[in-house]
Amino acid sequence: MISALDISTSALVAQRVRLNTISGNIANMSSLKDETGKAAPYKGRSVVFQTDNSVSTNPGVSGVKVDSIEISDAEPIYRYQPQHPLAIKEGKYQGYVAYPNIDMTTQMVDALEATRSYEANIGVMEITKNLGRESLSIIA
């Protein structure tokens, strides 16, 4: 029964990282500079999960962990704004400003999915706790 709680806990931790990543994407949807102050649009991030065999019960039943946080290689969205201070000065996109290629709808759907998964795992933990309590009351 404790391993079932460990599996759900691993999923809660993984989904928390996912929600933090999504909120970072939403917060930086209009960020046009990198950490150094150079004109470079924010690149969206996504979480990659991996099976965590160190947290398992029966064969085939394992926990989950964050394998990596990937940075998107999607091309920025270019908007023609020649008077903007961060407009590209020369080349193919002269006069355009590069904006992050992050879709709010996709981010919100991902956040909703992560929230539902989080809630489901809390439900599993509650059921596991109740089963343990009922088992102890039968024995006692």
Q: How do residues 41-86 score in pLDDT, each as one tens digit?
A: 999 999 999 998 887 677 778 889 999 999 999 999 999 999 999 9
Q: What is the average per-residue pLDDT within 101-119?
A: 96
| Domain residue limits at 40 | 2-139
Query: How many structural domains does the chain have?
Result: 1
Predicted TM-score (pTM) of the model is 0.86
Taken in order 118, 119, 121, 126, the sign of the CA dihedral is positive
- What is the b/e burial string over 91-116, where b = at least 16 CB atoms within 10 angstroms of the residue's CB? eeeeebbbbbbbeeeebeebbeebee
